[in-house]
Amino acid sequence: MKKILITRRLLRSCEDKAKETFDANFNLNDELYSQQKLIELSKGCDGILSSLTDKLDAVTINKLPDTIKIISNFAVGFGNIDLEAAKSRGIAVTNTPEVLTDATAEIGVLLILGACRRASEGIASAREGGWKWSADYLIGKQLTGTRLGVLGMGRIGQKIAKIAKSLGMIIHYHNRSKLSDDKDQGATYHDTLKGLLSVSDVLSICCPASKETVDMINKETIEYLPKGAVVTNVARGDIVDDEAMIDALERRKIYAVGLDVYKNEPNLNPGYLKHKSAFILPHLGSATKDTRTAMANLAIDNIDEYFSTGNCKNKVN
């Protein structure tokens, strides 16, 4: 049986499956391992089932024991792992695509609705009581007829586009490559970020964090958006320059933001907390029982597949 370090707790049924499949080393207190502790606990292990809270940078990967052959990340994103460093040490990295698309797209749509329809302010007023209905009370932005720009029209972006289209939104997108007709759902393709932003009344950020996308939404690119645009991010915090976004909220260049992910989670930039127009969630994208179960089972299966066949369809490096 392969010995696997599982860095965070999983749902019980998934831990049972891990126990049946591996000699599993669990993190019973669900503590956040330091990079040093992760290296120490990896000794004698064949693989690591990691989560997005583990920072597996080049320095950490280079200190892992030679016995480690796979890092199976419990997420579709893998911005927390230095893929090149892993590759040069002969360590396969795998992820959990598809199984979390629906749940994450639901949160992506919630961000759009919450930011456009002033849900944060509405919830606070309803809880406080004493609010008085009037014709112009908490007026928000209607989605019907509004242009949605999807930055990163992959699995999650396409599902958000599908739901948004059913709400009457007009879909535009930007990827590095144009989608085939069966996937684009009639959406308009923009081959530049500038082209997409200039038509985005509402922006939904759905691309991965990478060297190319870090701070892609910044002081300069925010200016391409129409005045009063809404920006939502269900992908990764690293894609947005927070200071520039908070400044744009202050100047009313940006009407509202809807955020599920942040730089330096869970310590989000306090500037967002000052803005009633910030509809913020604590990284809930994949947080449903069905999805978290499917993700963990896939992360386990990825390890099993790799050791039984020498390869894995979800290998990303």
Active site residues: 236, 265, 283
- Quick one: 207 or 222, whose CB is closer to ligand NAP? 207
Joined together, the tokens standing for residue 90 give: 């002969």
How many residues sit in the footprint of ligand NAP (CB under 6 A)?
31
- Quick one: 30 or 98, whose CB is closer to ligand NAP? 98
- If one asks whether residue 208 binds ligand NAP (CB under 6 A), the answer comes out as yes
User: Among positive and negative, which fits the CA dihedral 280, 282, 286, 290?
Assistant: negative
- Quick one: 97 or 149, whose CB is closer to ligand NAP? 97
Among 7, 51, 97, 248, binds ligand NAP (CB under 6 A): 97
In 89-227, the DSSP E strands lie at 92-94, 147-151, 170-174, 188-189, 202-205
Among 77, 114, 140, 237, binds ligand NAP (CB under 6 A): 77
Cβ burial of 42 (10 Å; 0-12, 13-18, 19+) is: buried
- If one asks whether residue 211 binds ligand NAP (CB under 6 A), the answer comes out as no
Residues 140-199 that bind ligand NAP (CB under 6 A): 152-157, 174-177
Q: How many CB atoms lie within 10 A of CB 251?
A: 10
CB contact at 8 A, 86 and 61: yes
Among 283, 299, 300, 312, binds ligand NAP (CB under 6 A): 283
The span from the CA of 155 to the CA of 135, in Å, is: 40
CB contact at 8 A, 78 and 209: no
Please report, as a single letter, which amino acid is at residue 115: A
**Residues in touch with ligand NAP (CB under 6 A):** 76-77, 97, 100-101, 104, 152-157, 174-177, 206-210, 212-213, 234-236, 260-261, 283, 285-286
